[in-house]
């Protein structure tokens, strides 16, 4: 069996804690590797080594740092198929979806090549008599990212690329469920010319997370995962004086107005609800048709599309719509929530409970489910299911539909499908959710905008990627400069004011 490693100081390093986690092939339900779980001592040693080399990287011209990322982009494109296959093998995504995972991370790396421009400060000439003022954006030092299983390429790239472009050293603690791709990314950055020690990949579990939170050298932490863990990391990290941004759970609503193109809406819901087996924080998990006629027409369109979905392993070809969920525990939790929906009175319009794939009976496959007549007090509505389950909540009016999305505790993403510009504009303006789609089901912003939700979907005040990433991974220093001319007249003892 393959034994994975950490990546420390430019090389693969075996773990020394004696603790390991199993890495599964979720399509087969079989262990395919084991990954070391770092101790606090291992984590602290990796941080100390990163801190030793970070000052020289910070002093490197930002254009030279950007050139490393330019080469990194070339290598990511070169190894795209290799990365996608490794990602699919450990996560279960289809190959096209896995390649998309890498691609959306690559696009952030491309944006970060513009670091020389993004790191420019401000300058005021003659702010006072003989006085100039200017600001500098400087790196924090050593920063860390704790990333999730569902995007093992994209989220690490979203974190590490801007952090390194800004002149920081970066400690990555990826998910122990699918750790191979983060290790491959570290190899490619090394090949691109990143100096040893600036990217340390430390595999681990809660012990490693707590070591990151408590390490005095680490200045900032980025996290993506569930809301309870996001809250824990945010509170403990902030209590230790760190800058922290945490992105948590979601329950994304898509409102379908009576005037919407129903075929377009149904296609969008199927892709957004069932892609990646629903294991996306931006997945649409709640459809809100306005009016019973709209709901009936929508369900009529959805049922045959959902029943025709092809579920299988990534090795079955690119026409597979989605693969298994990541673990047996995830599958059991989805099945429990589906049963709760039935017990609480929802109508199961598409029943995927008896899904079975010949030859893959031990895999973590879950058939597609569609619920109708869901109410907002049901567990399948209040809880993030993170599986191939779409719930339909019928609303009588637009205002009721808007209220459902606004009243939910999560505020990651939302969408509306309509042909009416006034309705769309009103929705975008009023909704209290961070990312909004108008006839776009998964409104993930491109790399040069920022990604982030509202309410209990986020903890912290700056978003991921885009300009916010450069704000998060730097601190501002403001300099007031005076070069006196003429005769010096002695010190001034009152606070300076403008003439």
Active site residue 112: no
Give the span between the Cα atoms of 158 and 144, in whole angstroms: 12
Return the structure tokens found at 215.
């390490």
Give the span between the Cα atoms of 67 and 58, in whole angstroms: 14
- The CA dihedral of 475, 476, 477, 481, to the nearest 10 degrees, is 160
Give the span between the Cα atoms of 244 and 222, in whole angstroms: 6
Give the span between the Cα atoms of 252 and 410, in whole angstroms: 8
Give the span between the Cα atoms of 245 and 362, in whole angstroms: 38
Give the span between the Cα atoms of 476 and 190, in whole angstroms: 29
Please, which residues have CB within 8 angstroms of residue 188's CB and are 6 or more apart in sequence? 72, 75, 76, 79
Q: How wide is the angle at C-alpha 82 spanned by C-alphas 81 and 85, nearest 5°?
A: 85
Sheet strands side by side (includes 123-128): 123-128, 131-139, 474-482
Give the span between the Cα atoms of 43 and 3, in whole angstroms: 19
Residue 160 near residue 183 (C-beta atoms within 8 A)? no
Place of tokens 């893959």: 360
Give the span between the Cα atoms of 76 and 204, in whole angstroms: 25
Q: Pairing state of beta strands 389-392 and 284-289?
A: parallel
User: Active site residue: 112, 166, 246, 281, which one?
Assistant: 281
Return the structure tokens found at 389.
């389950």
Q: Pairing state of beta strands 369-372 and 458-459?
A: unpaired
Return the structure tokens found at 372.
């109708």
Residue 184 near residue 360 (C-beta atoms within 8 A)? no
Rounded to 5 degrees, φ, ψ at 253 are: -95, 145
Place of tokens 């010319």: 193
Q: How far from the centroid of its chain's Cα atoms is residue 455's Cα? A: 16
Return the structure tokens found at 75.
């290598």
| Direct distance between the N- and C-terminal alpha carbons of the chain, in angstroms, rounded to an integer | 76
Return the structure tokens found at 67.
């050139």
Catalytic residues: 281
């Amino acid at each position: 069996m393959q034994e994975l490693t950490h990546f420390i100081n430019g090389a693969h390093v075996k773990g020394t804690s004696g603790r390991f986690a199993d890495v599964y092939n979720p399509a087969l339900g079989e262990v395919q590797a084991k990954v070391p779980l770092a101790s606090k001592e291992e984590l602290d040693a990796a941080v100390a080594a990163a801190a030793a080399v970070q000052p020289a990287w910070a002093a490197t011209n930002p254009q030279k740092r950007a050139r490393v990322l330019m080469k990194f982009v070339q290598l990511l494109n070169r190894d795209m198929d290799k990365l996608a296959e490794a990602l699919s093998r450990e996560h279960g995504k289809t190959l096209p979806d896995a390649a998309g995972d890498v691609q959306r991370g690559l696009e952030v790396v491309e944006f970060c090549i513009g670091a020389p421009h993004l790191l420019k400060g401000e300058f005021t000439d003659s702010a006072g008599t003989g006085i100039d003022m200017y600001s500098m954006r400087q790196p924090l030092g050593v920063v860390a990212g704790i990333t999730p299983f569902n995007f093992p390429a994209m989220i690490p790239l979203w974190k590490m690329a801007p952090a390194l472009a800004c002149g920081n050293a970066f400690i990555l603690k990826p998910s122990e469920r699918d750790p191979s791709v983060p290790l491959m990314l570290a190899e490619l950055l090394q090949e691109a010319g990143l100096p040893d020690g600036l990217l340390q990949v430390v595999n681990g579990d809660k012990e490693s997370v707590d070591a990151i939170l408590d390490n005095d050298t680490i200045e900032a932490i980025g996290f993506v995962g569930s809301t309870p863990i996001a809250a824990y990391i945010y509170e403990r990290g902030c209590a230790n004086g760190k800058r922290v941004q945490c992105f948590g759970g979601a329950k994304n609503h898509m409102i379908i107005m009576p005037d919407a193109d129903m075929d377009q809406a149904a296609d969008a819901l199927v892709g957004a609800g069932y892609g990646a087996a629903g294991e996306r924080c931006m997945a649409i998990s709640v459809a809100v048709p306005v009016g019973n006629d709209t709901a009936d027409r929508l369900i009529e369109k959805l049922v045959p599309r959902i029943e025709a979905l092809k579920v299988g392993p990534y090795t079955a070809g690119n026409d597979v719509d989605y693969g298994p969920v990541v673990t047996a525990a995830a599958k059991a939790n989805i099945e429990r929530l589906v049963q709760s929906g039935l017990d609480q009175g929802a109508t199961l319009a598409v029943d995927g409970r008896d899904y079975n794939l010949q030859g893959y009976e031990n895999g973590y496959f879950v058939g597609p489910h569609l619920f109708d007549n869901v109410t907002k007090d049901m567990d399948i509505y209040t809880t993030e299911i993170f599986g191939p389950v779409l719930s339909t909540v019928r609303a009588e009016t637009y205002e009721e539909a808007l209220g459902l999305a606004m009243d939910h505790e999560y505020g990651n993403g939302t969408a509306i499908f309509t042909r009416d510009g006034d309705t769309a504009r009103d929705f975008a303006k009023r909704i209290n959710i961070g990312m909004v789609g108008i006839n776009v089901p998964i409104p993930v912003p491109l790399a040069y905008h920022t990604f982030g939700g509202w309410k209990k979907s986020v903890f912290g005040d700056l978003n991921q990627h885009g300009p916010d990433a450069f704000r998060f991974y730097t601190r501002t220093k403001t300099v007031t400069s005076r070069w006196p001319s003429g005769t010096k007249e002695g010190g001034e003892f009152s606070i300076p004011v403008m003439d």
